Structure 1
């Protein structure tokens, strides 16, 4: 193996290590966002519960207490649940897209490294090794097709996840709106 081939392999290995570290960082960033969302949701739920308790304790009589509870807690809870689901879907979608992009870049680098190594190796073959060169070229073509197929299926998965996130968000928004309409009608009576 020539020194330039060894250097190419080492450079490819270093690039892949950097890529794995980058993907781990992206996954951790997504996890951090999820933890922050959950903490924010917990904080808001605690504040809402404390507010409701303060209002209940400040009621002077049963009628005032009942009027406090005829507000629309179901609509508010549904809206908050829909907002949480939307934020969660956005975090999952953006993290998945970042990981997909990093994976695509990694596969492109590996494909180029394989192509370069194959070309270097073919240049170093002795005369009369045309059969080995053809075999190496065939293996290179197969590897290129495999990388292309992986990238295409990975892109399809990314699009599918994105479409699902959008669909879930739309359904949650419509469900909240549908739930709010009957509650408004009842409150108006």
Structure 2
């Protein structure tokens, strides 16, 4: 059977360290973007809340009060949806970067494992081919299972994202309708 040389072992360890450093860097980049988004969103929300409160509190009557409240809440809904889209973009970028690394690592490991199995099979003593063939089949079954689970997980994420986007759009579209209804009730 083929033995790993110290150079091969060192090369694999160095590749693992480089991968970890790259992933850590990407995680920090994503964290920085997320922090910037949260800070900007908080600043904007505080400024808009202050201005909206001033307007609402200066209302002359109930109708104007209701209209100003509605005017205040519509941008808030839009801001929440904008925040959600930006958050999604940041997280999607991070996920894509991590998936690239995982895919490369998976492909590399799969190739190395297959090379090890092929080497073991070609150097196996007579009579040991049956256990090695069973081992090969187990590895193939595990690989197939992993790949099908990966596909299923990606599909589930897409369905959840689509459902959330549909709900967010419906909420955004219903806000003007609710505002008009509330304004009509306040006018009575």
TM-score by length of structure 2 reads: 0.74
Q: Is the 8 A contact 1:93 1:162 kept in 2?
A: no
Give 1:56 shift: 7.4
> For residue 102 of structure 1, what is the aligned residue in structure 2?
101
State the SS of the aligned residue for 1:130: coil
- CA offsets, 1:105-163, max 9 Å, x none? 211111101111222344444xxx13334423432332232123213212321231233
TM-score by length of structure 1 reads: 0.74
> For residue 182 of structure 1, what is the aligned residue in structure 2?
178
CA distance in structure 2 between the aligned counterparts of 1:122 and 1:9, rounded to whole angstroms: 22
Using the TM superposition, name which of 132-141 and 155-164 deviates more: 132-141
> For residue 130 of structure 1, what is the aligned residue in structure 2?
126
> For residue 36 of structure 1, what is the aligned residue in structure 2?
36
Give 1:67 shift: 4.6
> For residue 47 of structure 2, what is the aligned residue in structure 1?
47
1:141 aligns with 2:134: no
CA RMSD in angstroms comes to 3.2
